Amino acid sequence: MALYVRQLSDEERTTIQRLTHSQTAPVRLAARAWIIKLSAAGETVPAIARRLDGGAKTVRVWIRRFNADGVAALDDAPRPGRPRTYDEDARSRVIAKARSLPPKPENGALPPTCHWTLDRLSEELAEDGLPIKRSQIRRILKAEHLKWQKPRTWLESDDPHFAEKRGRSLTSTPTRRRAAP
């Protein structure tokens, strides 16, 4: 028994036509749309396979999927993959911690910074009961489009008399001459 695509609706026909002539659609999606278009035109599975330089089994798979679920079936099906190591609650805790300000260290343990680093986030989360590696933190923050900083300790000083000790700026640094207008 020959396998053909079911009767297409006007909307499905328009979508298939658009996909077969698209310059920006993924190639795999356009190839699947061609299978459906040729089958709707009355071509048999072996003829479509020869014309598109593919396998008859592949053509049958896409025709069956289209007949069952329509145009949406032409997209890739979700793949199982490895389950996430950290659940949504843990990911939310990492994101919330990264969006907050880092705590000021007591007793001068570390110089204060105004931004999180991956190492500081990892240490703070471990203290809060969520041991997580910096590479995982990096992946989570990158997926959320959050930025982190490299360690910089020059932003603030612990010394209350820092401004007085520093004094005025050096006059040995030459000023830049302005360019002629």
Summarised one tens digit per residue, pLDDT across range 50-90 is 999 999 999 999 999 999 999 999 998 888 888 888 899 99
| Separation CA 38–CA 9 (nearest Å) | 15
Whether 33 and 74 have beta carbons less than 8 Å apart is answered as yes
Residue 152 has pLDDT above 60, yes or no: no
Whether the predicted pLDDT of 43 surpasses 70? yes
Query: How many other C-beta atoms can be found within 10 angstroms of the C-beta atom of residue 33?
Result: 23
Res 110: pLDDT: 55
Per-residue model confidence as pLDDT tens digits over 82-139: 888 889 999 999 999 988 888 776 765 555 566 788 888 999 999 999 999 989 999 9
Dist CA 157 CA 83 (whole Å): 45
| Residue whose C-alpha is closest to residue 16's, from 3, 26, 30 | 30
Q: What is the pLDDT of residues 19-38, one digit of tens each?
A: 999 999 999 999 999 999 99
Q: Is the pTM here over 0.85, yes or no? A: no
Tell me which residue of 55, 52, 56 sits closest to 3, measured CA to CA. 56
Domain positions in the chain: 10-74, 88-155
* Phi, psi of 4, deg, nearest 5: -130, 160
List phi, psi (to 5°) of 110. Answer: -135, 145
